[in-house]
Amino acid sequence: MITVVQRVGWARVTVAGETVGEIGRGLVLLVGVERGDTAADADATARKVAALRLFPDAKPMDRSVAEIGGSCLVVSQFTLAAELRHGNRPDFTAAAEPALAAPLYDRVAGQLAAAGLPVATGRFGAAMQVELGNDGPVTIVLTVRDGKVVPRPDTPTA
C-alpha cells in the first residue's frame, strides 16, 4: 500500500462539481492499494498516519494530527501503483482490482476514524478533483508491505 501524506491548511474533493469531502487543517492521504495488499497493510498505514508528528510546536515537526485537532481527507489514488520502467505510458497492473482496493481504502479511513480523528473521504472509483492548500509544503510517501512500513529505497545505513 502506497500513501502520499500531505500536511494541509484546508482541502476538499469534488465529483461532478459536488463537494463530497472537505477538511480544514490536517492531512490529505492519497491511498494507492496494490495487488497483494491486506487488512494488515491498511491497519499499519492508519496507525502510522495517526502517529506521524508533522505539525509544528517546539520543533517544526512535533505534533500529530490529533494533537492539533486536525482532520484527515482520504482519497483513493490507484495511479500511485504506476509502473514507469518501460515506455512512456504508465502501466497499472500492480494496482489492486476494485473488489480488493475499495474495502482496504475504506479500512484506512475507518481505522483513522476509530482512532478518534475526524475523517472525510473522496468517492472510490470516481473522477475526482482534489484541491488543497499544502502547508509547508510537507509531503511524505508512506509504503507499507506485509503490515510493516517499508524503508525508502537506497536509504543509507549507519
Domains located in the chain, CATH noted: 2-143 (3.50.80.10)
pLDDT digits (tens, 9 = 90+) for 77-99: 999 999 999 999 999 999 999 99
Arithmetic mean of pLDDT, 44-61: 97
- Reading the block at residue 85, the C-alpha cell is 520502467
Mean confidence (pLDDT) of the chain? 96
The model's pTM is 0.94
pLDDT of residue 37: 98
Catalytic residues: 77-79
Residue 101 has pLDDT above 70, yes or no: yes
The number of angstroms, rounded, from the C-alpha of 105 to the middle of its chain's C-alpha atoms is 9
Handedness of CA 146, 144, 131, 56 (dihedral sign): positive
Handedness of CA 31, 36, 39, 44 (dihedral sign): negative
pLDDT of residue 114: 98
CA distance 111 to 157: 32
